[in-house]
């Protein structure tokens, strides 16, 4: 008997298990797509619980596959669930779930990297950036091959307040290889500290929730998996354009085992490189003998702020590409070495 004044919890009708769905539609994880299925509903429930209160929320699940996490999301009593699935083999099984939850599920057969997330949810859910996060969540057991490019894309969206973040500070609960999760959450001084650490932590509160052992997946991956929760910050810790921050951070970590001076050098053309590197490090108050992983967020902020100032004074500086300069040098060198024997050959013939 229902308790008076309480809305009855949504329950899915009896359905084939996820394992039976896999057999029924002859689904097989494809290694080239780095697919791994999670069949244990206790674990899928645990992942969904990390997202917070989902009752009457709007959720987008990325890469639902055979629908394990999908069931847990629906059981949490969501208002609407958008499923974005690239692999057409999974669509029939997801349609079965959609029919079991009438009016709650929308299935998109497409690639999340190109899908226009700014149109994914109703306009009335929008909140101001300074407000509490909207009642919108992104959840996904991401294939290893797509997880890093996807989180970088979404972090850029956070920085520009577009894509799924046009609605406000949309929260994300995602799975990553354990090693990637450690990079995302690494503190200064940790050997796991990397470009991902800075790019994610300067824009979001990043929490590593729990580890899922590899043997929980089918097929079993060679690594363990971690669940990570992201909440965009009201104010980024580095208040510069995403592209500038990424360029500085990428340059610093280019030679991660050497002094940070070595990586920062690559921000400048060969002509005047040493002088400008010293100038940047001095004005940013950064010790040139620190390793990249030892730098604090405030030191990265100083580097970005001072580099921005230098770019404003020299508009051509930001477009300078160290790798392109190296590439041109190699081409010139190879042309020289190719032309040298030809001259000798001509001389021999004469």
Rounded mean pLDDT, 335-341: 62
Average pLDDT, the chain: 89
**Nearest by Cα to 63 from 28, 35, 96, 27:** 35
Which positions make up the binding site?
36, 38, 63, 85, 111, 141
Helix axes 242-252, 144-160, angle to 10 degrees: 130
| pTM of structure | 0.88
Please, where are the H alpha helices in the chain?
18-24, 41-50, 68-75, 91-100, 144-160, 178-185, 195-201, 242-252, 260-265, 273-283, 297-313, 322-349
The answer to whether the CB of 83 falls within 8 A of the CB of 61 is yes
Using the predicted structure, report yes or no on whether residue 211 has a pLDDT greater than 50: yes
| 3-class SS of residue 107 | strand
Distance between CA 179 and CA 177 in Å, rounded? 5
**Nearest by Cα to 206 from 233, 241, 245, 242:** 233
Using the predicted structure, report yes or no on whether residue 347 has a pLDDT greater than 50: no
Could you tell me which residues are beta bridge partners of residue 174?
140, 228
| 3-class SS of residue 207 | strand
Q: Across 112-121, 300-309, 325-334, which has the greatest mean pLDDT?
A: 300-309
Which positions make up the binding site for S-adenosyl-L-methionine?
36, 38, 63, 85, 111, 141
Predicted confidence band of residue 228 (pLDDT cuts 50, 70, 90) = very high
In degrees, rounded to 5, the angle at the alpha carbon of residue 183 between the alpha carbons of residues 171 and 292 is 125
Please tell me the predicted confidence (pLDDT) of residue 18. 62
Rounded mean pLDDT, 197-201: 98
Predicted confidence band of residue 29 (pLDDT cuts 50, 70, 90) = low
Q: Percentage of the chain with pLDDT > 70?
A: 86
**Nearest by Cα to 230 from 146, 138, 319, 306:** 138
Please tell me the predicted confidence (pLDDT) of residue 190. 95
What backbone torsions phi and psi does residue 84 show, to the nearest 5 degrees?
-115, 110
Using the predicted structure, report yes or no on whether residue 79 has a pLDDT greater than 80: yes
Using the predicted structure, report yes or no on whether residue 36 has a pLDDT greater than 60: yes
Higher-pLDDT residue of 292, 17: 292
Per-residue pLDDT of 87-97, as tens digits, reads: 898 999 999 99
C-alpha atoms less than 13 angstroms from C-alpha of 176 in its C-beta half-sphere: 25
Burial code (b: 16+ CB inside 10 Å, e: under 16) for 18-30 equals beebbeebebebe
| 3-class SS of residue 295 | coil
Can you list the domains of the chain with their CATH numbers? Answer: 18-232 (3.40.50.150), 242-337 (1.10.8.100)
Distance between CA 315 and CA 228 in Å, rounded? 38
Burial (CB count <10 Å: 0-12, 13-18, 19+), residue 197: buried
Please tell me the predicted confidence (pLDDT) of residue 37. 79
Using the predicted structure, report yes or no on whether residue 340 has a pLDDT greater than 80: no
């Amino acid at each position: 008997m229902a308790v008076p004044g309480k809305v009855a919890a949504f329950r899915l009708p009896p359905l084939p298990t996820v394992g039976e769905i896999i057999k029924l539609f002859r689904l097989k994880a494809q290694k080239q797509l780095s697919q791994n299925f999670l069949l244990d509903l206790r674990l899928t429930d645990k992942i969904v619980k990390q997202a917070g209160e989902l009752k009457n929320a709007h959720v987008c699940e990325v890469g639902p596959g055979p629908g394990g996490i999908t069931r847990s999301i629906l059981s949490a009593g969501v208002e609407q669930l958008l499923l974005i699935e690239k692999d057409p083999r999974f669509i029939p099984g997801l349609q079965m779930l959609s029919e079991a939850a009438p009016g709650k599920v929308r299935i998109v057969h497409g690639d999340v990297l190109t899908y226009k997330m700014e149109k994914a949810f109703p306009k009335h859910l929008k909140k101001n950036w300074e407000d509490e996060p909207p009642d919108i969540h992104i959840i996904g057991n991401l294939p290893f091959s797509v997880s890093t490019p996807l989180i970088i894309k979404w972090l850029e969206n956070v920085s520009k307040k577009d894509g799924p973040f046009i609605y406000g500070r949309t929260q994300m609960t995602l799975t990553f290889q354990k090693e990637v999760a450690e990079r995302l959450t690494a503190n200064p001084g940790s050997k796991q500290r990397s470009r991902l650490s800075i790019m994610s932590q300067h824009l979001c509160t990043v929490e590593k929730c729990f580890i899922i052992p590899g043997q929980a997946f089918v097929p079993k991956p060679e690594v363990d998996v971690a669940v990570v929760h992201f909440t965009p910050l009201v104010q980024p810790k580095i208040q510069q354009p995403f592209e500038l921050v990424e360029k500085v951070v990428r340059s610093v970590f280019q030679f991660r085992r050497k002094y940070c001076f070595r990586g920062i050098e690559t921000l400048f053309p060969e002509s005047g490189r040493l002088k400008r590197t010293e100038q940047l490090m001095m004005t940013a108050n950064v010790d040139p003998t620190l390793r990249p992983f030892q730098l604090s967020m405030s030191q990265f902020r100083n580097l970005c702020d001072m580099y921005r100032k230098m770019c404003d004074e020299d508009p051509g500086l930001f477009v300078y590409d160290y790798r392109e300069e190296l590439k041109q040098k190699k081409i010139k060198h190879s042309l020289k070495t190719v032309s040298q024997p030809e001259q000798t050959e001509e001389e021999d013939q004469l």
